[in-house]
Structure 1
């Protein structure tokens, strides 16, 4: 997951990768895990619910 996050920083945001062990990376990974809690891997998530 950290590699994908850094890919977004570098390519999508035209920025620099962050250390995979940094508190910022841990916070991003924790947040993503929280958002996906209870959602099966590969599940389609309905849009327009939020």
Structure 2
């Protein structure tokens, strides 16, 4: 974490490649966005 007064804060997160490169489906519910790994999705329907 790096903070510069008057400019803001920068966060740096390192994750294994296996966690950072997965296909996912984005779903919005009540203004919140969730990412669901596609390997966990069996079926989708339009409502």
Q: Same fold (TM over 0.5)?
A: no
User: In proportion to residue count, which structure has more strand?
Assistant: 2
TM superposition score normalised by structure 1: 0.26
Structure with max Cα Rg: 2
Q: Which has the higher helix share?
A: 1
TM-score by length of 2: 0.27
